[in-house]
Chain A
């Protein structure tokens, strides 16, 4: 229970759609979603393959609690080998699509091969078919969503799709569901595009059952109460969304600015969660229309925003006058601080384009920041950019480039490579703010030391969502640690990584962990799923998943040498703020981390560790 114990295997090369039983031995070891789908991927593909070849597989995976009454039960993940990084890619999304897939009776869909011509998958419970998508190719996510609802005459259909950027091979394309929720990072949408798969449209009528409904409902009710009473999940996130962080992180001197040359941005308050509440512009209305929940979520951190009709980006463009998914913190940072742009409506427009054409605003903003630095140095010129002056702080440059990346054309083709490949192309690899090829997000490791180790060791390339030590180092959750100290961070990172891997395999949202620990997930998982799910078992599942992902990357060719940070973070000291004079002390943390992990000095899990975890 919890699981349907059924997966859908779609071979795009020969057009077959087959149901098969979920491997319940693996479910017992890896739970669901992130863990279980990674196990399938590791068993079914050679980690050395070209991620954009038909040999790669693309897995849409729900967790056992997806689609249940547990709070935040919206989550699904897309697991594949990532084209941006060449590492394991696992991108998590909310909205309504994941729960709908579960309601249709499927725990997972595994796509393999490559379709000869564009197709989309239609799922209505057991009725599953691949349909031609030639007319959808070249359409945005938003257009695709609208066309599929009309075609199937079904307003309740939930759609997950790629936009034009994913078709055009932008290496950080997302898969966007429900118009503005995204499996965002590492280029999972690029893999979807490489398979000629445009969209998945799902309608579910079967529902989800749990093992012990009475015990489950009791646990679910108690845990919802904890979320409601917590200052972050009950007040901060519903009111300001993740954008509650913009001013906080700027004040602690950890807001990477101007391609991480600076750690504070003097325009931060202009693009903050507070600013989104302020009336502005020609209409004199706030940017923020309302907060919105994903399926089942009692936090509701999502932002729904509107661009002021007087703003230059939407003049005579009524398609952008309506409300849509607004700025989350990472997007606001990438589109704003990384590029030095403080125009809230320009950021919102760029964010709309990211959703409409399906690509990752974090990688885009960071790549544009690097391009701006190269432009300032005279390495990138107007001849490269088609005459667009890529100056730090230029809203016009931001919004123009957002549209070019969305279509994968003009200079957008170069920006679509991501910063690692772009900076290498221009002979300045040191200006790429990436780890394992993926851009790091909105926390500067000079001001928050634990995030340096987090980025360096993250299995999918630099990422905040693999061990969010910001919770401890800045917010004091579960307990306060000094953000400028490296002592104790190895253990902190490991503990967060393992717990997060378990949480990401349940079907629930990581944001609950501002209020919940693994102890709060345990009774919900145990009441929903077959077998006895103790706290110890959940923790072990998390550690097992982390090591399995590591095995994938080692087999793909990564080594301990790749557990590093851009030189700028290790050598160039913070120029302002509480971290003034600080660099990141990765080398002080990494050996201890390997030791705590039970890995050798080269970052390889020892035989003893693998045996202990049953790997």
Chain B
């Protein structure tokens, strides 16, 4: 089954376990500044929003890359950076409308989410299921189910 990351910001507490898991998985160090997923805090609203690459089907980053350094993992659908081909030109970072591919000055290459080869560490580390890895064709399943539960329900209608 093709899976996809699904994010529910309302469940996020801002603990950044996802950022630590990502940096540890990819770099072997606890270092949120090297995380491919970022949690944004909107203080005055009390909201936290995890954000990362959504793995576009027709990916702007991939289309823009002049060295064909961004390939597709057939098993996961992830757009993956081939560090051997990446020249660090950053054109992909300009092309991506969402800002989820970024330059890493330490290596001179770009980094982005690669779904950890099909077992994303961020989703495993998230304590509140704000980040889950689910059927790519049914990322809305839980939200649909929640609304379905409230539809035409006699006890709710009376309450």
- Are A and B interaction partners? yes
Instruction: Say yes or no: A207-B33 contact (C-beta < 8 A), given A69-B24, A293-B14.
Output: yes
What chain B residues lie within 8 Å of A294 (beta carbons)? 15
User: What string of 1s and 0s marks CB contacts (under 8 Å) between B79-104 and chain A?
Assistant: 00000000000000000000000000
Contact A103 B33, beta carbon cutoff 8 Å: yes
Closest to A224 in B: B127
A103-117 interface with B by 8 A CB criterion: 103
How many B residues are at the interface, by size bracket? 20 to 34
A-B residue pair count with CB separations less than 8 angstroms: 82
Contact B15 A300, beta carbon cutoff 8 Å: yes
Contact A217 B31, beta carbon cutoff 8 Å: no
What chain B residues lie within 8 Å of A67 (beta carbons)? 30
What chain A residues lie within 8 Å of B33 (beta carbons)? 103, 156, 204-205, 207
What chain B residues lie within 8 Å of A573 (beta carbons)? none
Contact A298 B43, beta carbon cutoff 8 Å: no
Contact A297 B15, beta carbon cutoff 8 Å: yes
Give Cα distance in the complex from A67 to B30, angstroms. 7
B133-158 interface with A by 8 A CB criterion: none
Instruction: Determine, out of A248-256, A284-292, A550-558, the stretch whose residues face the partner at the interface.
Output: A284-292
Instruction: Say yes or no: A292-B32 contact (C-beta < 8 A), given A179-B43, A207-B23, A213-B24.
Output: no
Our pick among A103, A207, A228 for the contact of B27 (Cβ within 8 Å) is A207
Closest to B106 in A: A205
What chain B residues lie within 8 Å of A322 (beta carbons)? 43-45
A203-221 interface with B by 8 A CB criterion: 204-210, 213, 217
B115 on the interface (CB 8 Å rule)?
A: no
Give Cα distance in the complex from A204 to B19, angstroms. 14
What chain B residues lie within 8 Å of A297 (beta carbons)? 13, 15
Contact A217 B24, beta carbon cutoff 8 Å: yes
What chain A residues lie within 8 Å of B20 (beta carbons)? 68-69, 296
Our pick among B15, B32, B46, B127 for the contact of A304 (Cβ within 8 Å) is B46
Instruction: Say yes or no: A213-B15 contact (C-beta < 8 A), given A69-B125, A179-B43.
Output: no
Give Cα distance in the complex from A296 to B14, angstroms. 8
Contact B28 A213, beta carbon cutoff 8 Å: yes
A323 on the interface (CB 8 Å rule)?
A: yes
User: What string of 1s and 0s marks CB contacts (under 8 Å) between A258-292 and chain B?
Assistant: 00000000000000000000000000000001111
User: What string of 1s and 0s marks CB contacts (under 8 Å) between A76-100 and chain B?
Assistant: 0000000000000000000010000
Give Cα distance in the complex from A103 to B34, angstroms. 11
A-B contacts, 9 listed (Cβ < 8 Å):
A68-B30, A69-B21, A156-B33, A206-B31, A209-B28, A209-B30, A296-B17, A298-B17, A323-B45
By a beta-carbon cutoff of 8 Å, the part of chain A in contact with chain B is 67-69, 71, 96, 103, 156, 179, 204-210, 213, 217, 224, 228, 238, 289-298, 300, 304, 306, 322-324
15 more A-B residue pairs beyond the given contacts A224-B127, A291-B13, A298-B17, with a C-beta to C-beta distance below 8 A: A68-B20, A69-B17, A69-B20, A204-B33, A205-B33, A207-B29, A208-B30, A209-B28, A213-B24, A213-B28, A296-B20, A300-B15, A300-B128, A323-B44, A323-B46
